[in-house]
Amino acid sequence: MSGNERAEFEAEVETLMPRLHRFCLTLCRDRAEAEDLLQDSLVRAYLHRDSYQGHGSFLGWLCGIVRNQFIEGRRSAARRRSLLDSVLEGASSVLGSLFTGGVEQPDPESRACQSEQSAMLLRALHALPEKYRLVVLLCDVEELGYEEVASILGMPVGTVKSRHSRGRAQLGTAFQAELDQQECAVRTGGGS
């Protein structure tokens, strides 16, 4: 393995690091565990980089490795937490970044509203049936294509499309219900 191969791999992965880290956060309970998972996954990807054959994106291939490393780690540690429970615990940081987009808000009131919307969206995500949560997260937050999500989750593309469509519809309905409930509470003096 030459230094040139390593440099090429690092350059290709560097632009994907924020997205890979966010995906690791959705799978793990905390930041340190996510960083360990990311590091282990990148080592595995580097060692097996010849197995990437260009079917789908490089990001999708790496997400598949991350997912497999996550599952292996859970099995070897004899933990029996479900994948979706771990996703939901990491989703608050992911959903928070959706609203901020890395841009500082101009005033405290805007930040408070944004934080409130993030919490409402997270509650709406929690309200989704388990079979829709991860598909919606991968398709809408990570912006992966159906084929990549199907490969990552080990299910047919048609199932991913169906779950994504139904999950988005249910997420929109649940989020709107949260907004309506908040608006009603504010009008009646019971809200913030």
Burial class for 73, CB neighbours closer than 10 Å (0-12, 13-18, 19+) = middle
Give the pLDDT score at 187: 77
pLDDT digits (tens, 9 = 90+) for 68-90: 998 888 776 543 344 454 555 55
Tokens of 182: 């908040």
Question: What DSSP element (H or E) covers 172?
Answer: helix 157-187
Tokens of 134: 């991860």
- Measured in whole angstroms, the distance separating CA 167 from the mean position of its chain's CA atoms is 15
Give the pLDDT score at 117: 75
Give the pLDDT score at 146: 92
pLDDT digits (tens, 9 = 90+) for 128-147: 876 788 888 888 877 888 99
The CB-side HSE value for 61 (13 A sphere, CA atoms) comes to 17
- Residue 120 to residue 91: CA distance in whole angstroms: 12
The CB-side HSE value for 118 (13 A sphere, CA atoms) comes to 17
Burial class for 144, CB neighbours closer than 10 Å (0-12, 13-18, 19+) = buried
- Domains recognised in the chain with CATH numbers: 1-81 (1.10.1740.10), 103-192 (1.10.10.10)
